[in-house]
Amino acid sequence: MTTLKRSDCSIVTLYGWLQQANFHNKLRIIMGIIIWLLIGAVAGWLAGNIMKGGGFGVVGNIVVGIVGSVIGGFVFGLLGFGSTSMLGSLITAVVGAVILLYIVSIVKK
């Protein structure tokens, strides 16, 4: 990161830095969404293989994984656990997706 000199204190320079920061924030948001979708897809696929022996397709896996991550986060939150890593997020999503698929299988009967 560059240091701010007295000659750099113009509106144009500060506006340029602000635009650059916005780009990096946008990049972080986009990368977060991509990682969120990938974890959802993998979690849905794993849960599908655990519960029924196969996945649900890409979109189905993503939906099952994302809904499962919400359920898993709620259940683990009640138990006093939390995840701070991608592996922990994946485990939480898989457990939640398995719970979701179990509930769906009970309701379908």
Asked if 47 contacts 100 with a C-beta cutoff of 8 angstroms, the reply is yes
**Band of the pLDDT at 101, cuts 50, 70, 90?**
very high
7 pLDDT above the threshold of 80: no
Identify the pLDDT of residue 72: 93
Structure tokens at 80: 């006093």
Helix (H) or strand (E) holding 65: helix 58-79
Burial of 15 (0-12, 13-18, 19+ CB in 10 A): exposed
38 pLDDT above the threshold of 80: yes
Identify the pLDDT of residue 56: 82
Which has the minimum average pLDDT: 24-28, 61-65, 75-79, 102-106? 24-28
Q: Is the pTM of this model over 0.85?
A: no
